[in-house]
Amino acid sequence: MAEIIFDDSGCPSGQSTPQDIARQEAGSTVAAQDLTPYVQTRANGDHSIDLMISGAHCAGCMAKIERETAALPGMKGARMNLSTMRLNVQWKGKDTTASSIVARLEELGYGAKAFDMELEPLENKKELNGLLKAMAVAGFATVNIMLFSVAVWAGADMGENTHNYMHWASAAIALPAVAYAGRPFFRSAWSALKNKTTNMDVPISLAVLLACTLSMYETIHGNPDTYFDAAVMLLFLLLIGRYLDARLRLKTGESAQRLAAMQASTASLISESGDIVSVQASMIKPGDKLLIAAGERVPVDVEIISGTSEIDTSIATGEALPVTSGPGGKLYSGMINLGAPLTARALSISSDSFLSEISQLVEAGEQKKGKFVRIADRAARAYVPVVHTLAALTFIGWLLVGGELRTASLNAIAVLIITCPCALGLAVPAVQIVASGRLFKKGVLIKSGDALERLSKVDTVVFDKTGTLTLGRMQLTNTKDISPKNLEAAAMLARSSRHPIARAVAVAAGNGPMATNIKEISAKGLSTIIDNKPIKFGSADFLGIKNAKNSQTESWLQIGKAKPVRFAFKDTPRIDAKDTVANLLTSGYGVELLTGDKRAMASETADALGIENWQAEVSPKDKLARLETLASEGRFTLMIGDGINDAPALASAYASASPAGAADVSRAAADIILQGDKLSGLTTAVSVAKQAQRRVVENLSLAVIYNMIAVPLAIFGFVNPLFAALAMSGSSIIVTLNALRLNR
């Protein structure tokens, strides 16, 4: 048999943009991760590890990854899941082999990070599989009972025995099927009743159970009509909605965890005996002593014990330029140590005022958000009492006009079944899964269904600057004023350093050789001797220059005694930041900029992007206050930010978004996450959310119209089993089709 060989020539991963390359450059400043804490050892001595793969797009990538990993020495097997982007590898031998697997994957051009198995949402997965099975059972029962029912409806000349036989056969299928497939509803209804509240599942359970009981009674007494088909069909249609809803939640949850896993880190713990051990960042306890090497991300919040170094603090403060920090200084997780190694002690949240204030503010914001009620639930709250009252009134009414007990209960159950919210249960999840699927393809991750609903109301967009509108990275801006020879000379020095300005020069010059014997003076500059000429690259006062314009955003290069050359740097906006802001403004949204960075830098960015309302040097509390002012003016705000200082604002804004590279706490507080280096997903997200909300409202209106027609018929006893079945499936199909229109 011929084997089909996939190659990745047509794979989009081959095309990397300059920004991708820049990101890889920036990423390489962070030191390699030790993987041994993530390796699992089996009883028979085999090891295994789960890795999150990035950069794989197609089946060709999957085949290549599996083939190449399995070819490494000692491997027992490698299996990749293309849907969740996880690779499971098993091998014999030492646990340190893990890093060689990652190295091999990186050679092939894929990113690989250890995945913490504890993060896996096992419970949700079980629930989803349970719903899938329940749906299958209900579907099986619906189809079979429907066959018998059609025979009963059509067979007017059917003998009485055949008739009864059909009903008994239906009962034999329906009762076990309802007992199995109805459990999710019964359980939820029961727990609601126990807490003395009601939810949508109460009338559903009631309708299904009563319909079965009554049909059983009719079957035993040989009467002509049974409602087994309606009961199981109701469960089947509702289970489709439940399944879609659960799948959306699992998928969004998994993607959020995938992001977290990609940033999961290890830390170097200094044990009491002075040994350095590598552990998972999640295992560090407050008080532990840690070594933070140059170039490493700070794994947890710490206080420096010894050492002084330059720190990239943009994730906490929004400032684009590094800050020097020494003993007693506090560092927050996600900051990057740019200079010398530091010894530090892990802090607990409560021991640090900044962090505890942030977490209190975030909590307060989330509580407020917790009160948000989804439109389906709001409808359900209004709906449930009406359904119960109508059914009860029908029952009493028929008794009053002298109907039999049997007729009265038949009609009351018909009301319960006909009003059952198939449209409510199916239409909203269907719309949301279509909308989130569409946004997924655009690189926008929706964290929950109510995020979409909140997003649809937004009228004011508030941006953070560093890391959100800008990339949070310095870039060389005056390349054309610098001769290639000078740029290369500066780059030979800069390639040795992790300082953001040095990185910017190295990126601008591309790959090349590095000078030898480079001396780096923290916060000043670099110097060495090339071809017997001293070369210096650094700040103005490092070179002894007096007429510097702005010491923070420029550096100077001097070769020998020649005239110093000026290098200017800027934290440039993302490529599509200007278009995104312009789009939002023309669509009538209010746009504001709130940043913790200095005034001069904020005004420059605001001018470049055409944002009129901006505030600089704002504290996390000020951001919050501004959002509250906007809210009190009746505006619905969408906050977009990435730093720790944005987290309270993200939590308390009406809706919020974060770029994928944001701090953990911000990503957790945001409703949507924008993947990749682009902001344009934001406009798509808002417009898709608006369309989705329109569909939801349409679907709910359809449901109301349907009920207005069907309920009176049910109350007055015109609903036979055939009508109930047709009405129910018809309305469900209509709302699903309406939801699918969103996909175009």
Partner 1 sequence: MTSLLWLMPIAIFLGLVGLISFFWSVRSGQYEDPEGNAARILFSEDKPIIDEEDE
Question: Contact residues for partner 1 (CB under 8 A)?
Answer: 1, 3-4, 6, 42, 44, 58-59, 62-63, 77, 79-84, 90, 129, 132-133, 136-137, 140, 143-144, 147-148, 159, 162, 165, 169, 173
Nearer to partner 1, 40 or 550 (CB): 40
The least distance separating partner 1 from the CB of residue 179, rounded to whole angstroms, comes to 15
Which residue, chain included where needed, has tokens 């079965």? 212
Question: Of the two residues 140 and 354, which places its CB atom closer to partner 1 in the complex?
Answer: 140
Phi-psi region of 258 (alpha: psi -120 to 50; beta: other; left: phi over 0): alpha
In the complex, least distance from residue 142 CB atom to partner 1, rounded to whole angstroms: 11
Note every long-range contact of 296-299, with CB atoms under 8 Å and residues 24 or more positions apart, other chains counting.
Answer: 296/30, 296/31, 296/268, 296/336, 296/337, 297/30, 297/265, 297/333, 297/334, 297/335, 297/336, 297/337, 298/331, 298/332, 298/333, 298/334, 298/335, 298/336, 298/337, 298/344, 299/265, 299/266, 299/267, 299/333
C-beta of 42 vs 371, nearer to partner 1? 42
DSSP secondary structure string for all residues of 154-223: H-TT--HHHHHHHHHHHHHHHHHHHHHHTHHHHHHHHHHHHTT---THHHHHHHHHHHHHHHHHHHHTT-
> For the residues of 280-319, what is the DSSP string, one character each?
EGGG--TT-EEEE-TTPBP-S-EEEEE--EEEE-HHHH--
- At CA 145, angle to CA 142 and CA 150, rounded to 5? 115
Q: Which two tokens stand for residue 449?
A: 């269904």
In single-letter form, the type of residue at position 668 comes to: A
Q: Which is nearer to partner 1, 132 or 396 (CB)?
A: 132
Q: Which phi and psi angles does 554 have, rounded to 5°?
A: -140, 155
Q: Which of 703, 710, 728, 700 is nearest to 231 (CA)?
A: 728
- Phi/psi of residue 464, each to 5°? -90, 165
Q: Which is nearer to partner 1, 251 or 667 (CB)?
A: 251
Alpha-carbon Rg for the chain in angstroms = 32
Greatest CA separation for the chain:
114
The pair of three-digit structure tokens given for residue 678, joined into one six-digit string: 């682009």
Shorter beta-carbon distance to partner 1: residue 86 or 454: 86
| Secondary structure class of 346 (helix, strand, coil) | strand
Whole-angstrom Cα distance, residue 358 to residue 594? 17
With vertex at residue 269, the alpha carbon angle to CA 267 and CA 270, rounded to the nearest 5 degrees, is 150
User: Distance between CA 742 and CA 738 in Å, rounded?
Assistant: 8
Strand runs labelled E in 595-682: 613-615, 637-640, 655-659, 672-674
Rank residues 140 and 636 by Cβ distance to partner 1 and give the closer one: 140
In the complex with partner 1, which residue's Cβ is closer, 79 or 345?
79
Q: Which residue in 221, 291, 321, 245 sits closest to 600, CA to CA?
A: 321
Q: How far is the CB of 663 from partner 1 (least distance, A)?
A: 31
- Record the tokens describing residue 544, joined without a space: 């002894």
Locus of tokens 């944002």:
611
- Residue 89: name the closest of 44, 53, 121 by CA: 53
**Distances, alpha carbon 229 to alpha carbons 138, 176, 471, in Å:** 10, 13, 59
Minimum distance of partner 1 from residue 452's CB (angstroms):
24
Assess whether 459 carries a catalytic annotation.
Answer: no
Q: Are 259 and 119 in contact (CB under 8 A)?
A: no
Q: How far is the CB of 80 from partner 1 (least distance, A)?
A: 7
Closer by beta carbon to partner 1, 226 or else 666 = 226
Closer CB to partner 1, 60 or 329, in the complex: 60
Q: Which of 312, 450, 464, 671 is catalytic?
A: 464
Residues constituting the chain: 744
Q: Which residues are catalytic?
A: 464
